[in-house]
A and B are shown apart, each in its own frame.
Chain A
């Protein structure tokens, strides 16, 4: 402990030279020579103020979970707003230093480029009153995402949430597994939750006496409404359009299942997208521009991933099916940057997570441990949440598609059919 205190005392120079202040509020500079694939060292200095220890722990963990930085730990004493001893933090391996302080209603964050001894980011975050509450932690996660953007140029994904199915209910959890809670009542067997782009609504399917219906849940009010367009038959795997105004879903009757488009918040009529001639066409996922869909179709005799224009034209096989191949490929999810589709593929009898590049159709297998299904991209187009039975029961895991590093997100009862929200942080 004595050594630790001494280190802290020296990390914060008592009277450092005044530095050029970047006074622009958003103040984002890509100051580090960040190379994808390399991980700059980041030191998060202790955070003074009520809840500072919690905030410090959350930010360190968020930056670690981002898989883009090496978090340098071991500094455990707050020192306020004193200037940073750049020579020393450089010796510790830090390319960037985060200095933050908590006031009753705001978190003040400065990110320094150690080599250039200048600020990459200065930003104040409005903080709710109760340290540790869900809305308080979301603000800390938001700060983590801004810190990551200042250092790596890519917005973090800490201030997002993941919806999933557990025990016949829809649950939501934070990206660090905190505040896991049900958002629907028991009953109806909801499946396939998908986020509205604003994060305010979820759409999902549920079992009703005459079929499976589509519902929209308002997370702000807690109230849900079933779409009038889906009273009977199979209606499943809804997905909001990127503009949030409509929902594409699967409708099945006696003549196969096809994709349809319906307004999410009005009773205007539906429009058919795919014409599958009696085959299964399901699990739609949008390209970022909303002009195309990837989906699962059984039209070749077994499930494969296809792409179609939103008006139903130019249906095209995406996954590398070849005649005689009966590999089962399903559950596509289009990356937010538009470059990859992640899906599940049966490999040696067990389902694994794979990606396929839109540009050259290169396939990569990302998992090999257990049965792995239902992958969904994070907003960073880098991390993937998926269901795996590798621990014996189905739980959600988060995988970094660049490094392969994987962590378990959910604990407790079996979890499946997850969906990753967009950023819920500040613009």
Chain B
């Protein structure tokens, strides 16, 4: 049983128990005490507690999984930054790319697009080529680490799509980047190790 379907059955069970508890049964007709079926109240308590435990555990597990998926997605799209007029992957950039590799390996259906961007200094036209080189550098790093080249598109936006305006070094450094977009297979992201 896959993890997802196991989680789904737990949720269904927990839901059913919760529904059973919530409903107030119609009041039974008065009957002779001896003839009435014995309700084992301790067993019911145990059963309810057990269901609640399972429900809580499923919710916690679900939450944990959701957080892990979100973290994986965030790692997959984490930006890589560059020095001025450079396309070399820095040590920091390598760490960011290294974190993407296991996610891509775990999710062979995922395809991504690397988008190379530049700060606005210099020729707008030359910056298109520079952005292409930056996107290609990240793609090459990932393919060197075993990711199939066919899963990675690259595009350059040059200096046409700044995320920070202005002429401060801070703005420039935010704009010298590769962005990563998930173009296919991102809906059922699996987390490495599951």
Q: Which residues of A come within 8 Å of B, CB atoms?
A: 189, 191-192, 205, 207, 210-212, 233-234, 236-237, 250, 252-257, 280-283, 296, 298, 302-303, 328, 330-331, 344, 346, 351, 373-374, 416-417
Contacts and interface: CB of A to CB of B under 8 A. Distances in A.
A351 B153 contact: no
Contacts of A302: 85
Contact of B129 (A207, A236, A254, A373): A236
A302 to B, nearest CB: 6
A212 B128 contact: yes
Contact of B139 (A192, A236, A254): A254
A330 B139 CA distance: 27
A234 B155 CA distance: 7
Given A189-B160, A256-B133, A296-B123, A236 B128 contact: yes
Contact of A280 (B130, B153, B154): B130
Contacts of A328: 85, 122
Interface string B162-191: 000000000000000000000000000000
Nearest to A236: B128
Given A255-B136, A346-B122, 14 more contacts: A205-B128, A211-B155, A212-B155, A252-B132, A252-B156, A253-B136, A253-B154, A256-B136, A298-B129, A298-B130, A331-B125, A344-B123, A351-B122, A373-B124
Given A191-B128, A212-B155, A282-B129, A254 B123 contact: no
Contacts of B160: 189, 191, 207
Interface of B: 85, 122-126, 128-130, 132-133, 136, 139-140, 149, 153-158, 160
B124 A417 contact: yes
A34 B99 CA distance: 72
Contacts of B128: 191, 205, 212, 234, 236-237, 250, 252, 282
Contact of A283 (B123, B132, B158): B123
Contacts of A330: 122-123, 125-126
Contact of A417 (B85, B125, B155, B157): B125
A234 to B, nearest CB: 4
A315 B158 CA distance: 26
A280 to B, nearest CB: 4
Contacts of B156: 212, 234, 252
B28 to A, nearest CB: 67
A373 B160 CA distance: 16
Point out which of A211, A281, A346, A416 has the most chain B C-beta atoms below 10 A from its C-beta.
A211
13 contacts: A189-B160, A234-B128, A234-B132, A253-B132, A256-B136, A281-B129, A283-B123, A283-B126, A296-B125, A296-B126, A303-B85, A330-B125, A351-B122
A274 to B, nearest CB: 12
Contact of B136 (A211, A254, A303): A254
A210 B155 CA distance: 7
Given A280-B133, A302-B85, A254 B126 contact: no
B181 to A, nearest CB: 11
Given A212-B155, A254-B154, A191 B125 contact: yes
A257 B139 CA distance: 15
Contacts of B85: 302-303, 328
A236 B130 CA distance: 12
A202 to B, nearest CB: 16
Contacts of B149: 254
A302 B132 CA distance: 15
A384 B133 CA distance: 31
Contacts of B140: 254
Contacts of B129: 234, 236, 250, 252, 257, 280-282, 298
A416 B125 CA distance: 11
8 smallest CB-CB distances across A and B, nearest first, come from: A280-B129, A252-B132, A330-B123, A234-B132, A257-B129, A254-B136, A282-B129, A330-B126
A191 B158 CA distance: 11
Contacts of B125: 191-192, 236-237, 282-283, 296, 330-331, 374, 417
A191 B153 contact: no
A374 B130 CA distance: 17
A250 B160 CA distance: 17
Contacts of B132: 233-234, 252-253, 257, 280
Given A257-B129, A280-B133, A374 B124 contact: yes
A20 to B, nearest CB: 54
Contacts of B153: 210
A401 to B, nearest CB: 20
A208 to B, nearest CB: 9
B126 A282 contact: yes
Point out which of B139, B149, B154 has the most chain A C-beta atoms below 10 A from its C-beta.
B154
Contacts of A281: 129
A348 to B, nearest CB: 14
Contacts of A303: 85, 122-123, 126
A187 B156 CA distance: 17
B124 A416 contact: yes
A421 to B, nearest CB: 19
A331 B136 contact: no
Contacts of A189: 160
A330 B127 CA distance: 10
A237 B124 CA distance: 10
A207 B157 contact: yes
Contacts of A233: 132, 154
